[in-house]
Amino acid sequence: MQPRVFPAMYWFITFIAMIFLCGSTLVFANDDEKYVNCGKLFDCGDIKGVGYPFSGSNRPDYCGHPELKLDCSDQDLEITIQKVTYKVLGINNQSRTLRIARKDHAENNICPTLLLNTTWIPNLLNYTSDDRNITIHYDCPAQGAPTLPFSSEFPCNINSTEMTGYFTAVSNLSEFGSSASNLISYLASCKDSIEVPVLQSALAKISSTPTETQLLEILKEGFDFVWTANDSLCETCKASGGQCGYNQTTAAFSCYCKDGPQESSCPQSPTAAPSPTAAKSPSMSSCLLLFFSAGVTLEVNRKTA
């Protein structure tokens, strides 16, 4: 009498066979999905055609650098860098610059709850030559603030606490000698401060009119970051017909091609015969047909055994 094999075993054997025979088909299907998805651009509000090195919306994480993920909130494009959220005002792909403004300042809030410096991401996002820093001080003494042409105080309320704020439109007060010594001493008694970049062209406005209203206006104009994200590799990839992306497993650039990812460019053989691997790879429909027909065959054999 032959040993009896349970029906589940027949299906298990068939499933294992399908993996060996059709595994490459599943991989190619996933690669093709990445190629298609990373070819998509997305719009948000007035900003159109956002692509590499950014991800977000209909562009999955593998289509852009992980630290350059954008969100579309109420038709405002936003990016978060080191816990600070910024409103994206513009993207220039030719100069590879990103113009942004702190979201709290863009919403007319000069006294944010989270007092953090604006920071860059080395080797990825850096300031441009047109950026200049303004220092904003918080929780300063209510009395004794010097009056100088390039600085001003303003009222502030943070977490229901009334305090005095103060800002200067110059980065190096020591250049002004004794005329700024009192201001340096005063600012040293302030409990908090942040540095915020502004455009050099905007800095001239506040230097002549240092008021809270003028400060908010130039902060809302934002500043520029220039990005460096494997740009030459992306150009090579696009020229070969691929789509630029990012392999989060290897933390490296990836060129997504129709027949799978490459390091920098797609094979230039659109009319060449299929590779041996591709030629031997059955289609997805063939795999499914093979799976069920094999299962039926095994079941029939089991009943007649």
User: Tens of pLDDT along 11-50?
Assistant: 454 445 444 444 433 444 466 899 999 999 999 999 999 9
**Closest-CA residue to 198 (of 251, 264, 259, 132):** 132
Beta strands in 74-231 (DSSP E): 76-81, 84-92, 97-102, 125-127, 131-140, 151-158, 161-168, 192-199, 223-227
The whole-number pLDDT of residue 203 equals 82
Q: 245-272, pLDDT tens digit by residue?
A: 999 899 999 999 998 899 899 997 544 4
The whole-number pLDDT of residue 30 equals 64
Edge-to-edge strand order for the sheet containing 161-168? 151-158, 161-168, 131-140, 192-199
Q: 118-154, pLDDT tens digit by residue?
A: 888 888 999 888 888 888 999 999 888 877 777 888 9
Contact 81, 121 (CB under 8 A): yes
Type of residue found at 267: P
The whole-number pLDDT of residue 130 equals 86
CA distance 103 to 193: 18
Asked whether the predicted pLDDT for residue 97 surpasses 90, the reply is: yes
Query: How many residues does this entry show for the chain?
Result: 305
CA distance 292 to 297: 9
The whole-number pLDDT of residue 288 equals 45
For the residues 226-235, what does the mean pLDDT come to? 91
Radius of gyration of the chain (CA): 30
Asked whether the predicted pLDDT for residue 293 surpasses 70, the reply is: no
Residue 72 bridge partners (DSSP): 77
Mean pLDDT of the chain, nearest integer: 79
For the chain, what are the domain ranges? Answer: 73-227
CA distance 281 to 62: 25
Type of residue found at 88: V
Asked whether the predicted pLDDT for residue 1 surpasses 90, the reply is: no
Contact 110, 165 (CB under 8 A): yes
Q: 230 or 275: which carries more pLDDT confidence?
A: 230
For the residues 52-67, what does the mean pLDDT come to? 93
List all residues 6 or more positions away from 283 whose beta carbon is below 8 Å from its beta carbon.
25
CA distance 111 to 60: 35
Answering whether pTM is above 0.85, one says no
Q: Please tell me what DSSP assigns to residue 117.
A: -
CA distance 60 to 72: 14
Tokens matching residue 80? 């978060």
Q: 144-198, pLDDT tens digit by residue?
A: 887 777 788 899 998 888 999 998 877 667 666 676 788 888 889 999 998 889 9
